């Protein structure tokens, strides 16, 4: 196999994030096998060592002591010629099985569920030759079109449970439930949740589901799935809040996690301190050709802390460990923008701003602005919405431009917590909701950061930190 560290993208690539995780080069997609093991966090991920495209999928591997700074480790899993994973080691999870690190993943093609164990602290993996689930259950087989993947395993009441995702052709997405006493012999129980391809209200749940996760909040459980439309279009991540009792799930409400199709296939992990942390694949938002030229594609979201809010909604907030990246600090007080002005320059920043608007005002921040405003990306608050407007983010025509919006009750005050890292912009609203966009400004002088308002708004305090790189 080609050396993992060869052919790195040039250091001066202006779009490479500096404080988000991504492999040294090539393609990545989903986070896999997240686990805290002996006081270290392990992050595996879907990785193609042969280029910046989804091809021969391996499991890349990295380790961290704080969720923020990562060290690359050798590739953990590669397809075995003639093995059940000969065409790829697709997504899956990691568990601690009586002290033995154990992973489950999907081998292709056909899609079967495989397992492997490690005896050297997760560095190398011994695969079990035969899949633990070799085919879809009989009642699904004819309708699933071969789709059955992305095992998520947890322990409950002395047994192991597994979720897999699939579909019913013409029906909708499916989450299937399995049970095992020993992690090798799995008994199929039944579909746990099913989608309806014809239902559009409150939103469409697509034709196929992927990457299930179950988060246990005690009284309530949340099941996350990533939704695809036909053929192969990512829709968004959706979650069902309800109760998992006696091997069945009762849905109380369902929601979209992040209103965009560039945030996909997240995975959660429960830390020893009780926090639920989520990482998501963040897709590129430019042509496949640009990614091939750049030599890399895909990155991880920031580590996000999940909480269950009222009305069954999930809150997403940046983990506190990110504060260790803060370097130079600037504070602005009592800004009252009338029109727009620039405050400073930067492309790897954290910005924390409180706004107190008069009713009917539109206001916000702009980032990556060229001096003449030809390139700029806006974060706009108006009419109970927060919007990332990247319509003018780049003069490059190989780049997508979008309006991404989130409904929010503004009512007199709103907090924006913004993380800008070269080509990624993440916005947390009132420490709860999350928006993300990719931006690829073409001009080297598109570095301005500013505020703007139509109507009246007071900004009692606005803090900006330059953030350090996470790499040594």
Residues that bind ligand FRU (CB under 6 A): 29-30, 46, 57, 90-91, 106, 149-150, 210-211, 264-265
The distance of closest approach from Cβ of residue 343 to ligand FRU in the complex, given in angstroms and rounded to an integer, is 38
What distance in Å separates the CA atoms of residue 246 and residue 423, rounded to the nearest whole number?
45
Closest CA to 154 of 267, 7, 316, 65: 267
The distance of closest approach from Cβ of residue 281 to ligand FRU in the complex, given in angstroms and rounded to an integer, is 6
What distance in Å separates the CA atoms of residue 349 and residue 341, rounded to the nearest whole number?
18
The distance of closest approach from Cβ of residue 31 to ligand FRU in the complex, given in angstroms and rounded to an integer, is 10
**311-342 burial, b for 16+ CB within 10 Å, e for fewer?**
ebbbbbbbbebbeebeeeeeeeeebebeebeb
Q: Which is nearer to ligand FRU, 106 or 393 (CB)?
A: 106
Catalytic: 30? yes
What distance in Å separates the CA atoms of residue 424 and residue 14, rounded to the nearest whole number?
11
Q: Which is nearer to ligand FRU, 148 or 414 (CB)?
A: 148
The distance of closest approach from Cβ of residue 370 to ligand FRU in the complex, given in angstroms and rounded to an integer, is 34
Q: Which is nearer to ligand FRU, 233 or 324 (CB)?
A: 233
Residues contacting 17, CB < 8 A, separation 6+: 299, 421, 422, 423, 424
Q: Which is nearer to ligand FRU, 109 or 293 (CB)?
A: 109
Q: Which is nearer to ligand FRU, 106 or 394 (CB)?
A: 106
Q: Which is nearer to ligand FRU, 267 or 393 (CB)?
A: 267
Given 30, 147, 285, 421, the catalytic residue: 30
What distance in Å separates the CA atoms of residue 359 and residue 382, rounded to the nearest whole number?
10
The distance of closest approach from Cβ of residue 104 to ligand FRU in the complex, given in angstroms and rounded to an integer, is 12
Is the sign of the CA dihedral 116, 117, 120, 126 positive or negative? negative
Q: And the tokens for 57? A: 């999928």
Q: Which is nearer to ligand FRU, 44 or 90 (CB)?
A: 90
Q: Which is nearer to ligand FRU, 210 or 350 (CB)?
A: 210
CB atoms within 10 A of CB 428: 22
Strands 26-37 and 296-297 come out as parallel
Contact in structure between 132 and 111 (CB atoms under 8 Å): no
The distance of closest approach from Cβ of residue 264 to ligand FRU in the complex, given in angstroms and rounded to an integer, is 6
Q: Which is nearer to ligand FRU, 29 or 297 (CB)?
A: 29
Residues labelled as active-site residues: 30
């Amino acid at each position: 196999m080609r050396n993992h560290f060869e052919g790195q993208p040039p250091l001066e690539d202006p779009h490479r994030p500096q404080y988000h995780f991504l492999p040294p080069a090539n393609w990545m997609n989903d986070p896999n096998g997240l686990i805290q093991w002996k006081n270290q966090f392990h992050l595996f991920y879907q990785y193609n060592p042969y280029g910046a495209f989804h091809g021969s999928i391996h499991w890349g591997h990295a380790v961290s002591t704080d969720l923020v700074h990562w060290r690359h480790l050798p590739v953990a899993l590669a397809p075995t010629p003639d093995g059940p994973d000969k065409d790829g080691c697709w997504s899956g999870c990691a568990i601690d099985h009586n002290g033995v690190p154990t992973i489950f993943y999907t081998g292709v093609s056909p899609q079967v569920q495989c397992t492997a164990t490690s005896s050297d602290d997760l560095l190398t993996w011994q695969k079990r030759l035969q899949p633990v689930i070799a085919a879809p259950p009989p009642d699904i087989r004819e309708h699933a079109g071969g789709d059955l993947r992305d095992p998520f395993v947890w322990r409950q009441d002395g047994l192991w449970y597994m979720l897999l995702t699939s579909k019913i052709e013409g029906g909708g997405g499916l989450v299937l439930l399995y049970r095992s006493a020993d992690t090798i012999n799995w008994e199929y129980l039944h579909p746990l949740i099913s989608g309806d391809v014809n239902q559009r209200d409150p939103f469409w749940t697509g034709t196929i589901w992927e990457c299930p996760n179950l988060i246990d909040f005690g009284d309530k459980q949340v099941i996350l799935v990533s939704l695809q439309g036909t053929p192969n279009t990512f829709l968004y991540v959706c979650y069902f809040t309800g109760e998992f009792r006696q091997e069945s799930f009762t849905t109380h409400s369902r929601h979209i996690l992040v209103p965009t199709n560039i945030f996909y296939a997240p995975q959660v992990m429960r830390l020893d301190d009780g926090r639920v942390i989520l990482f998501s694949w963040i897709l590129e938002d430019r042509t496949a050709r640009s990614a091939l030229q750049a030599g890399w594609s895909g990155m991880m979201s920031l580590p996000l802390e999940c909480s269950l809010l009222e009305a069954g909604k999930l809150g997403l907030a940046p983990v506190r460990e990110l504060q260790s990246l803060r370097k130079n600090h600037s504070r602005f007080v009592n800004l009252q923008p009338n029109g727009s002005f620039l405050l400073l320059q930067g492309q790897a920043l954290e910005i924390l701003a409180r706004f107190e608007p008069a009713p009917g005002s539109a206001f916000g921040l702009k980032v990556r602005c060229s001096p003449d405003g030809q390139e700029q990306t806006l974060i706009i608050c108006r009419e109970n919405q927060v919007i990332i407007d990247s319509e003018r983010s780049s003069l490059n025509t190989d780049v997508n431009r979008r309006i991404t919006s989130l409904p929010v009750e503004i009512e007199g005050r709103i907090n924006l917590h913004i993380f800008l890292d070269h080509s990624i912009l993440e916005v947390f609203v009132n420490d709860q909701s999350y928006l993300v966009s990719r931006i690829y400004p073409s001009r080297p002088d598109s570095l301005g950061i500013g505020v703007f308002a139509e109507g009246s708004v007071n900004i009692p305090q606005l803090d900006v930190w330059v953030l350090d790189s996470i790499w040594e």
